[in-house]
Structures are given as C-alpha cells and as structure tokens.
C-alpha cells in the first residue's frame, strides 16, 4: 500500500532555527574559552580528572594563604626590629653618657634622662601595625602598656622602696640610707622573683607571655613576635624606674654610686637582651624569606599543573569559533530562502 508523506513549510523554517540556538550556545562557549584561556565547562571537559584539578587548585590556594600570612608576619617583624633598635640605641646612649661622667654627676643625669626614656619605652612597646600590637604576644588586640604608660613601673619601685625602708620616696630620711642597705634593696627589687618582676606581668604589662608562632610553609613554623613580658624590657624599665623614681639626689654620695652602678648594670643587661631579641627575629625574617622563595616555586608548579589540565588550545578554539560562525550564517541564509518559498509562485 502506498502512503503519502506531507512536508510542512513551517517544519522547514523551524529546523534551521533550532539548530541556530545550539550553535549560538557553542559559539558563546568557544568565545569564553578564547577570552579566559581555559575550558568553559571544566567538569564536562576533564571528566574523571576534574578531582585532580580541584585538588591542585586547593593546594595552590593554601600556598597563597601561607604567603599572605608571611606578609603579615613580615610586617610585624619589621616593626618590632625598628622599635628594638630604637630602644637599644636609647639604652646604649644613656649607658655611654653615665659611663663618661664622674660618679657625683651620674645620679642627677640619670634621673633627668630616665623619665623621657621610660616614656619612649612605653610608646615603643605599644607599637602596632595592621591593627595588631606587635609586642602584645598572642594578645595582639590589647595595648601592652596602655594610656598610663609606665607610670605603674615607677609606682611599683616607689612602693617597694617604702616597704623596704619604712619611709616614702623623697623623705628626708633618704639621707640616712647606707650603701649596704641600698645594695640590699636593689638586689631584692631586681631579683627574678622580686616585687618588680612580680608586678610586671598583668599589672604593669598587659601582654601575653607567649610570643606568636606562625606557620610559614607547609612544614615549618617560626616565632614572629616578641612579648612585652620579655625580661629585656622588664630590666630596661627597672633601670629607668630606679634612676628616676627613688630620689637619688637626696641620698649620700656612696648610696648614689651604688644606685647608679646598678642602673648602668641593668642598662647593659637590657641592651644585651635587646640584641638577642633582634638576632632571634632576624633569623625568623630570614626563614620567612627562604620559605617565600619555596612557596613561589611550589605555586609555579601548581599553576603549570592546572594549566596543563584546564588550558585550551587558542588556535583550536579560534577554528571552532570560525566554523560555528559560518554555520550560523548558513542557517540564517537557509531560513531566509525557505521563507521565500510559496505555492503561489508555482501557480
């Protein structure tokens, strides 16, 4: 039995139109690949290898985060080094000045210079960068010393003085203190478990005792801060507080000599401690520099691995764009010709 097939002109018109929609989608994808240099749909293109690509990208992001963290740590270390150098310079200058003076001139000179040096120490310990107090230890959000500066350090020395001698600083009785008594007082005051050390943490200083330890690479950590609770700062503050806070000018020459000798000893000890801190931080800075070099090399390897998986061939993509453009133009032309078909033309 013979059947007749019907060909509808509307079917002929719609066929190129539906094909154009698909071609335009492919053309948009090809243009996007040319613009970005990578596959428009990585998952579709890579298939089972997409997990490898994501893993490499995650590792690269981790390396970037480590590098960014090293930048923050580097700023903290740089600021710390600047302050430490300034504090050491001030201590060394005072020590040099006192060393070059006759004994009877040292007490007055130490008292006049220690007040400003104590203020400079307070300002240095409250230094901040990037919204973090660099000498706060792990407590970076709170200023280690605070608005009152190191007045509490002088108060602690004055309180210890009154407790030891049974009269306050500035009393006329200061003239009755013997050299041995002053030496005993200073030994007690400067002892590791003495009143000044006991009052430093939590009262004079609000810093955390623990310094910041930062991860600088996938397998390394480094100490990247110094706490204001470090003995070097406490010793330096004690030297300035003794020089300016116990009324040395009212004591005998022998007592003044004992006190200024102790101040000079404390200054030398503090300066050595500051040098040690600078050396420690310098080693951390060097380790960060070396770690950054390795991180850059690792990131370059990751980038190459991602590119090998996801990068498109620009020449091939351009060829596809040209071919798709030609097909779309042909579809448009065919549609236009089909629209001109009419039975009227054949009557």
Q: Could you state, in order of their start, the residue ranges of all structural domains in the chain?
A: 60-302
Report pTM.
0.78
222-256 pLDDT, tens digit per residue, is 999 999 999 999 999 999 999 998 888 889 999 99
pLDDT (tens digit per residue) in 134-182: 999 999 999 999 888 889 999 999 999 999 999 999 999 999 999 999 9
Q: Which fold has domain 60-302?
A: f41 fragment of flagellin, N-terminal domain (1.20.1330)
Per-residue pLDDT reduced to its tens digit, 308-343: 665 666 767 667 666 767 766 666 666 665 566 555
Count of beta carbons in the 10 Å neighbourhood of residue 209: 14
Residue burial 115-152, b: 16+ Cβ < 10 Å; e: rest: eebbebbbebbbbbbeebbbbbbebbeebbbbeebbbb
Nearest alpha carbon to residue 177 among 251, 108, 247, 263:
251
pLDDT at 71 over 90: yes
Task: Please say whether the dihedral angle defined by the alpha carbons of residues 320, 323, 329 and 332, taken in this order, is positive or negative.
Answer: negative
Cβ atoms of 192 and 230 closer than 8 Å: no
165: its two tokens: 């001698």
Can you state the angle between helices 151-165 and 179-190, rounded to 10 degrees?
130
């Amino acid at each position: 039995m013979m059947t007749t097939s019907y060909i509808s002109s509307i079917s002929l018109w719609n066929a190129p139109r539906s094909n154009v929609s698909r071609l335009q989608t492919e053309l948009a994808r090809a243009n996007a690949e040319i613009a970005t240099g990578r596959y428009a749909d990585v998952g579709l293109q890579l298939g089972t290898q997409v997990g490898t690509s994501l893993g490499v990208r995650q590792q690269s992001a981790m390396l970037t985060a480590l590098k960014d963290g090293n930048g923050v740590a580097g700023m903290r270390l740089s600021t710390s080094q600047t302050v430490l150098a300034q504090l050491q310079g001030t201590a060394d200058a005072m020590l040099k000045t006192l060393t070059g003076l006759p004994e009877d001139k040292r007490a007055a000179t130490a008292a006049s210079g220690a007040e400003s040096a104590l203020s400079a120490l307070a300002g240095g310990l409250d230094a901040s960068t990037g919204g973090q107090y660099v000498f706060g230890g792990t407590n970076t959000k709170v200023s280690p010393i605070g608005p009152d500066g190191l007045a509490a350090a002088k108060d602690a020395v004055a309180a210890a003085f009154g407790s030891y001698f049974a009269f306050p600083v500035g009393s006329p009785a200061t003239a009755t203190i013997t050299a041995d008594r002053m030496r005993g007082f200073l030994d007690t005051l400067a002892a590791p478990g003495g009143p000044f050390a006991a009052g430093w943490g939590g009262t004079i200083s609000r810093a955390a005792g623990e310094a910041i330890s930062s991860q600088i690479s996938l397998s390394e950590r480094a100490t990247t801060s110094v706490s204001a609770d470090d003995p070097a700062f406490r010793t330096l503050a004690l030297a300035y507080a003794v020089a300016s806070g116990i009324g040395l000018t009212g004591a005998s020459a022998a007592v003044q000599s004992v006190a200024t000798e102790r101040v000079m000893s404390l200054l030398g000890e503090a300066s050595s401690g500051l040098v040690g801190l600078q050396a420690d931080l310098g080693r951390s800075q060097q380790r960060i520099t070396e770690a950054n070099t390795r991180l850059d090399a690792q990131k370059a390897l990751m980038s190459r691995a991602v590119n090998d998986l996801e990068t498109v061939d620009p020449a091939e993509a351009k060829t596809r764009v040209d071919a798709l453009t030609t097909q779309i133009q042909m579809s448009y032309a065919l549609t236009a010709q089909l629209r001109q078909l009419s039975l009227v033309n054949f009557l």
